[in-house]
Chains A and B, each alone.
Chain A
Amino acid sequence: MSVNLKMKNFRYNRSFSVIGNYLYILPFMFFFIVFFAFPVFQGLYISFTEWRVAGQPIYVGLKNYIELFHDRLFYTTLKNTLIYVLEFFPLSVIIPLLLAVAINRYIIGLDFFKFALVAPMVVSVSAVGLIWKWMFNTTFGLINYYLEKVGIHGPNWFMDPKFAMLAIVLTSLWWGIGWNLIIFSAGIKNIPQELYEAAQIDGANRWACFWYITLPNLTQTLLFITVTGLIGSFRVFGQVYVLTNGGPYDSTRTLVFYIYDNGFRYFKMGYASSISWILFIIILGITLLQFKYLKGWGEQQ
């Protein structure tokens, strides 16, 4: 009898706690569904329609997707996005990692550096664009001025399709590494100091400390930064919008920029939605691959 009662109580508690858990996440779920899940699937529906903003969406089946595969500019924007990701993403991990190690392990107490490196992060993208537009100016810009001082004839940054994307990558790095730097710093702070002391007693040099202690202890942090950073770099938009407007000769027109153009400037909502879904599938695929191959990272140790 008493056992039964206990069981009953247990069941009651458990079911209550299940409901309770749902109650806790209810506010989040509400906003998630209303502002995220619903629009995403609404977007999927719109991608099968022709919708010119005025009037109702007209169902056209796969027309948008078929048109997309014949759209030369779509491939250009896809290529540009990949170039940006391949140039920006590895640097946006490696540079802050090295800086974080340098600041936290070797220049201890110099919060100034940390502040200086993180500060650009809080500047709005339009201000960043205005600053760097002049920094990269071919004739009057600071960058070409200093390049000239060391004997290099600076390129025509925003006029030459070969260099425009590089300028965007460099601007993005200046603007964006602060975030990763904070995360890496937090990760490094969590590594027990004893590990380094033990290694030093064993005669390990700085490089060995970095390679065998810092890096293995940062795998979880690296996983987080790789996943979020890669998604973020696929969505590059603001810098392009302010710095080059997609030019010259479409060399900086990225996927998200093309979505914006189609949706909000050409008012082709259906077409814009189909590009969004292609981008979504690309990002989803890459994220799944990352989880599959990088999951073991944190567990090896």
Chain B
Amino acid sequence: MSIYKIVLLSVLLVFISRVALSAPLEINFWTCLGNVDGAVMGKLVDQFNKENPDIKVKSLQGYSTEKLMTAGLSGNLPEIILTRTSELSTFIGNNWVVPLPQEAIKVVGVRSQDFYPTAWKLCYYKGKQYAVPLDIHLLALWYNKKMFKEAGLNPVAPPRTLEDFVTYALKMNRPAEKKFGASIPTSGPWLFVWSFYTLLWQNGGDIFNADETKTLVNSPAGREALQWMVDLAKKLQVHQIDTEAGRTGRIGMWFDGPWVLTFWQESPIKSDVATAFYPQKDLKKPIVWAQSHIFTLSPNAIKDQARLEASVKFIKWISEHSINWAYAGQVPANNAVRNSKQFLTDPQLALLRTFAKELPAARYVQTTLPNFVEVQDKLVSKMEAAMAGKLPVDKALEEAEKEINDMLAKVKR
């Protein structure tokens, strides 16, 4: 072999190895987000890629379960999936996620004391940690200060108890002029059922018994909760008024999460909108429905150490930079971010800070069922019947109880 050939070969080898080494590690990241918050997350991912040239995160905002299903079956799941605490048991049941390897968590430095304790606890399933929390979102009271003033109510003293809430609502209510003291969800999943859970818990009830073999919705607490919703809708004569209808300036109060922050900041009545704690039955024991977005790892993330560490590093980075995520209308789960000067003082986050202060009242739906949505669908259907006056409250919850218990008996645990 001539000297030229050896030189040429070694140059080539060096070149190839350089290319191979400098090629960034590609990580896929799918989220459950929508258009607005998805765009914010997309920007955060771009920033991460810029600051970490050795890792390239490709993100998909807004996965569908169909997509996850096919990806799961063909072994093409993304390394990281952002989902919600209420869906964790389903993801585990479908083998889409794996317990987080504790060494990697330690090596990268994701520590429990850095996160809001309740959110951190909800990332555990049967004693194993499956996720890292990104944020906490919970319900609160949104209200229109202008309508308060018009009805002679103090706009900086919104109602704190459920009783006061009804009184205030009736004071502002003028159905003939299409002005409503409050809007209350009357159908559909989400806000409708989350309001019910909040009231159910406030009344001392719960969705399931301890081992999730029976539902407890048909209890005095459950009946009182649903009756309160039915009565309120009747008293106020509100029908099918979505919370967005508040944009018209004709709704006094409504319940919603923090994720509508940008929606209201861009609305025509932005200077009139304010937030307050969710009204309570017992002010000494405040309770409100909450949920978290959580980072989970799929089986593909633990294939090799480099991939795993890069994935955890990404999760840690996003968590530490979640002040940007707060602007999408989410309370960061990371303590340092939540206690940062920017979060505590930026006027743009004023409405969101109510939610952060409400955190001690946060209560999550805790379930180990792989098909919790099926329970919820059955409950929602009967609740809708009660709202529409098709079934009396006790009969509606009795039917829901029977159907849910039949279903629970068939669940393979």
Contact = CB atoms under 8 A, between A and B. Distances in A.
Interface of A: 52-55, 137-140, 156-161, 244-250, 261, 264-268
Contact of B240 (A52, A138, A245, A261): A138
Given A139-B241, A267-B94, A245 B189 contact: yes
Nearest 5 A/B pairs, CB to CB: A248-B384, A249-B385, A138-B239, A54-B95, A138-B240
7 contacts: A53-B94, A137-B242, A138-B240, A138-B241, A156-B240, A249-B391, A250-B381
Nearest to A268: B371
Contacts of A249: 381-382, 384-385, 388, 390-391
Contacts of B412: 52
Nearest to B247: A140
A265 B384 contact: no
Contacts of A157: 240
Contacts of B90: 267
Interface string B357-390: 0000000000000110110010011101101101
B305 interface: no
Contacts of A268: 371
Nearest to A53: B94
B245 A139 contact: yes
A264 B69 contact: yes
A158 B238 CA distance: 13
Contact of B93 (A52, A139, A158, A246): A52
A157 B377 CA distance: 20
B370 A52 contact: yes
Nearest to A160: B388
Interface in B64-117: 65-66, 69, 72-73, 90, 93-95
B178 interface: yes
B95 to A, nearest CB: 4
B65 A264 contact: yes
B73 A159 contact: no
Given A139-B245, A159-B186, A248 B385 contact: yes
A140 B245 contact: yes
B388 A156 contact: yes
Interface in B233-255: 238-242, 245, 248
Tell me which of B93, B94, B187, B373 has the highest count of chain A C-beta atoms within 10 A of its own C-beta.
B187
B388 A159 contact: yes
A79 to B, nearest CB: 15
Nearest to A245: B188
Contacts of A245: 188-189
Nearest to B189: A245
A156 B371 CA distance: 31
B385 A140 contact: no
Given A52-B93, A159-B387, A139 B188 contact: no
Nearest to A158: B240
Nearest to B73: A53
Nearest to A72: B403
B177 to A, nearest CB: 11
B94 A247 contact: no
A139 B93 CA distance: 42
Contacts of A53: 69, 72-73, 94
Interface in B317-374: 370-371, 373-374
Contact of B390 (A161, A246, A265, A266): A161
Given A249-B388, A249-B390, A158 B187 contact: yes
A29 to B, nearest CB: 24
A157 B390 CA distance: 14
A139 B239 contact: yes
Contacts of A266: 371, 373-374
B248 A267 contact: no
Nearest to A250: B381
A58 B370 CA distance: 18
Contact of A265 (B187, B373, B382, B385): B373
Nearest to A141: B240
A161 B385 CA distance: 8
A161 B73 CA distance: 38
B239 A156 contact: yes
A157 B178 CA distance: 17
A156 B245 CA distance: 16
B388 A161 contact: yes
Interface string B174-192: 0000101000001111000
Contact of A139 (B95, B238, B388): B238
Nearest to A164: B187
Nearest to A269: B69
A260 to B, nearest CB: 9
Contact of A267 (B239, B370, B380, B387): B370
Contacts of A137: 240-242, 245
Interface string B193-220: 0000000000000000000000000000
